Amino acid sequence: METYQISPIGFIQSPYKQKFAIPRQPRLVPDATARLVFSPEFNREEFVRGIKDFTHLWILFRFHETAEKGYSALVRPPRLGGNIKKGVFATRATFRPNGIGMSAVKLESVEYHQGQLALVLSGIDLLDGTPVIDIKPYLPYSDSLQDASAGFADTRPQTDMTVSFSQVALISLSQIPDGERFKRFIEQVLMQDPRPAYKAGRDPVQHYGMSLHEFNIKWTVEGTHNTVTEITREK
């Protein structure tokens, strides 16, 4: 078999420090922002000249946490409750032969600060440290196909999840710069129900934790309601 060597053009600085809690598709959590920091070879403004003319971009990347674990011909899509197997090429699962993913995200701004080029992106579904292998402009006339259908994933995923914050968590948020936006970000993440599908409905009350930015978030799930109980800065 012929092989190819691909070097990353940059890396993602993301609020998602672990795979758990990342939305299953881009733009489901609008307040999820990240920076794409360019590698030294591509750290020149010429590479992105004209990119500000586009509102959205395709980001091609490598599933770096799972790529070395190999691939599976059959996978269990979360949209089907994790109980039905589909061919990996009929899904967007991470366990792929070449470990390549793609996300259509919003371009917020282009930064060039102290000699470092970066793109600020929103609506991301990318893990911190993700290697980016290419960037392409999103073209509405070509990339948005009005008569397309998507099988078992034909509609935007919906949940009945609601979110509230304990008094302790609200006090912590009040002490964080731009705490209202961070609160909204947490709400958007939890309303997507990041739990594995098989965990839903198992126990009356479930306890979880996740890392977002430099904070540890703890919450409980009771039925379809999430209560954020604690927000602490990582040490």
Q: What is the pLDDT of residue 70?
A: 87
- Within the chain, all domains assigned CATH 3.30.2310.20 are found at 162-233
CB 218 within 8 A of CB 230: yes
162-233 CATH fold: YaeB-like fold (3.30.2310)
> Is beta strand 225-233 parallel, antiparallel or unpaired with respect to 162-165?
parallel
Q: What is the pLDDT of residue 151?
A: 85
- Within the chain, all domains assigned CATH 2.40.30.70 are found at 10-63+99-143
Q: What is the pLDDT of residue 45?
A: 96
Q: What is the pTM of this model?
A: 0.89
Q: CATH number of the domain at 10-63+99-143, please?
A: 2.40.30.70
Q: What is the pLDDT of residue 78?
A: 82
pLDDT along the chain (235 residues), means of 10: 92 94 92 97 97 98 87 89 90 92 98 96 97 98 90 80 97 96 96 82 87 96 96 91
Q: What is the pLDDT of residue 201?
A: 67
| Distance (Å) of CA 35 to CA 5, 88, 111, 150 | 25, 29, 9, 30
